Amino acid sequence: MLTQSTAAPSLNINRVVPGPLPSSEPFCGLAGHAGLIATEFTYRKDEEIYGEDEPAEYVYQVIRGAVRTYKLLSDGRRQIGAFHLPGDVFGLESGIKHRLAAEAIIDTSVRLVKRRSLEQAAGTDVQVAHKLWTMTADDLKHAEEHMLLLGRKSAMERVANFLLEMDRRLAVAGMMALPMCRRDIGDYLGLTLETVSRALSQLNDEGVLGFSGARQIVLRNRQRLRNMDI
């Protein structure tokens, strides 16, 4: 129900587009490095990129589209840990396995490099090693803030927080086009999709935001949202 992947991505060899790393914004400042070959890859909407506990062979960067990483309980309950948008790196592990699964939310292109080559580079270049550390530390910072949200914030505070986060990350010209559905938002915020929908409707009624389509949102009063977010 939650995952509708149709084929193991590793089998879609025909979609692999190898190439050198571009010198502009190259995997967050990791490229120009001996032995770092980036490959491009495309996933369709809802396609699995990797599964939980799968060997972590690659590190990914979103080029176009959006990705959700999540954990599942045996009865289907899902917690989305993060949404990854163009420019974001995901799938970076210091251990041997991925600890969350990853799926494309919409049609998505990623750049990927072999984790092994990244670790080799880190073994000879302390700058690469430092970059790996700070990327993981940034993920930890996000997780720590999200624990506070999940453990202690009300539904409205969570939704306000989500809107401000997405506004910051993907608004163009004051408008954001959300790639994810209400269920994804709920599974990110520890709520049901109905509760998310009700909170958004209330914010619309209060004039804090405006819709032009369920996933096209414009924030009209960011300060009110910041006050809600505490």
Q: Which stretch binds DNA (CB under 7 A): 13-21, 49-57, 81-89, 196-204?
A: 196-204
75 binds, among its own copies, DNA, none (CB under 5 to 8 A by kind): its own copies
Asked whether position 105 contacts DNA by CB under 7 A, the answer is no
In which residue are the tokens 């041997």 written? 96
Among 211, 221, 226, 230, binds DNA (CB under 7 A): 211
CA gap 7, 21 in Å, rounded: 27
Question: Tokens at residue 57, please?
Answer: 């062979």
Closest CB to DNA among residues 10, 201: 201
Asked whether position 78 contacts DNA by CB under 7 A, the answer is no
167 binds, among DNA, its own copies, none (CB under 5 to 8 A by kind): none
Among 145, 168, 174, 177, binds its own copies (CB under 8 A): 145
For every residue of 53-97, DSSP letters joined together read T-B--EEEEEEES-EEEEEE-TTS-EEEEEEE-TT-EE---SSSB
Which residues have CB under 8 Å from 109's CB, separation 6+? 40, 41, 42, 43, 62, 63, 64, 65
SS3 190: coil
Tell me the number of residues near its own copies by CB under 8 A.
42
Asked whether position 115 contacts its own copies by CB under 8 A, the answer is no
Asked whether position 175 contacts DNA by CB under 7 A, the answer is no
Q: How many residues does the chain have?
A: 230
Which residues have CB under 8 Å from 124's CB, separation 6+? none
CB of 103 to its own copies, least distance (A): 16
Would you call 194 exposed, middle or buried from its count of C-beta atoms within 10 A (0-12, 13-18, 19+)?
exposed
Binding site for DNA (CB under 7 A): 154-156, 181-183, 190-198, 200-201, 211, 213-215
Binding site for its own copies (CB under 8 A): 71, 73-75, 77-79, 81, 93-95, 99-100, 122-124, 126, 129-130, 132-134, 136-141, 143-148, 150-153, 187, 189-190, 230
